[in-house]
Amino acid sequence: MSVRIGINPLTWTNDDMPALGAETPLEVCLSEGKEAGYAGFELGQKFPRTPEILGPILDVHGLSLVSGWYSSNLLERSVDDEIEAMQPHLHLLKTLGATAMVFCETSRCVHGEMETPVRNRPQMSPAEWPVFLERLNEVAEYLETQGVSMAYHHHMGTVIETEADVDRMMQGAPAVGLLLDSGHLTFAVGDPVAVAKRYADRIKHVHCKDIRKSVMLDAKNRNLSFLQAVLNGTFTVPGDGCVDYPSIFAVLKESNYEGWLVVEAEQDPSIAHPLTYAKLGYANLTKLCSDAGISVAL
């Protein structure tokens, strides 16, 4: 088995808070990411969204397209409407060789609202859950026919946030693949190691985000929004916080996970120097892979 190591551009420039890193051009993100050792990038706000334009840009830097976030609204529209809405995004991923779509239900989400405490996130009613799961499963089945797996991203401030939410989704939508995000599960008081073990054969993508525990606890104590927690420095690159990555990587090794490991750690680039943290994240991930007996493909 082997994995590839990629990075999300929010190390340099943030999609939820565009003012963070607004002055940093895409060229800097890509060149520094390559310098740090990464084999590919996820999409960000500064990336062209047509394969004819983006493909040559990535090729110049010797980088692959890892995947890209898709905001779903299945609580508010039909499966057919959702599939139609995702076509440009799906076309981009397929054309440039990405095999997993970062998928998140964003109906009524609050993670992009600076003044809304993250604990005020939306929750589905008992009547909404079965409708949502049926629709989600249909979309996942469709994506598989297109050669792209759904990698569902449980995310703070959304309807699928907690470990219990993840369990209910995975049990009720068997076609859905999981994006394991260690940082979001930890923030949501979940156990990423236990979740990885339960759904090892359905993990399609891995986001490696670490947590500064004392900062996280302070954010919870002061009832902060997700964005305020980001600005305070709750998140960091893997190996720089409290997440038990050796145990997670032992699960990935045992399950023969073959996919991307992506550094995705929201920080203020004016405080957390992007290249410094990109290099730290890559060094820590390669060591974790080596210690777990996981080979890394370039």
Measure the CA–CA gap between 27 and 12, rounded to whole angstroms.
Answer: 11
Q: Is the pLDDT of residue 142 over 90?
A: yes
Residue 134 identity: E
Q: How confident is the model at residue 220 (pLDDT cuts 50, 70, 90)?
A: very high
pLDDT > 80? residue 1: no
| Torsion 194-258-159-157 (CA) sign | positive
Read off the pLDDT band of 147 (50, 70, 90): very high
User: Which segments of 89-168 are extended strands (E)?
Assistant: 100-105, 149-153
Query: Which class for 31: exposed (0-12), middle (13-18), buried (19 or more C-beta within 10 A)?
Result: middle
What is the CATH number that goes with domain 2-262+273-296?
A: 3.20.20.150
> Is the distance from CB of 100 to CB of 204 less than 8 angstroms?
yes
Q: What percent of the chain has pLDDT over 70?
A: 100
Q: Using H for helix, E for strand and C for coil, what is the string for 5-32?
A: EEECHHHCCCCCCCCCCCCCCHHHHHHH
Q: Yes or no: say if 101 and 151 are a contact pair by the CB < 8 Å rule.
A: yes
CA separation for the pair 98, 149 (Å, rounded):
9
Q: How confident is the model at residue 14 (pLDDT cuts 50, 70, 90)?
A: very high
Q: Could you read off the pLDDT of 52-80 as tens digits, one per residue? A: 999 999 999 999 999 999 999 999 999 99
Q: Where are the domains of the chain?
A: 2-262+273-296
Find, among 193, 183, 177, 180, the residue nearest to 140 by Cα.
Answer: 177
Within 8 A by CB and 6+ apart from 251, the residues are 193, 196, 197, 200
pLDDT digits (tens, 9 = 90+) for 74-129: 999 999 999 999 999 999 999 999 999 999 999 999 999 999 999 999 999 999 99
Above pLDDT 90, what percent of the chain? 98
* pLDDT for the residue 298: 85
Q: What rounded mean pLDDT belongs to the chain?
A: 97
**Tens digits of residue pLDDT in 246-298:** 999 999 999 999 999 999 999 999 999 999 999 999 999 999 999 999 999 98
Q: Tell me, what's the pLDDT at 138?
A: 98
Q: What is the rounded CA–CA span in Å between residue 7 and residue 209?
A: 11
* Structure confidence at residue 25 (pLDDT): 97
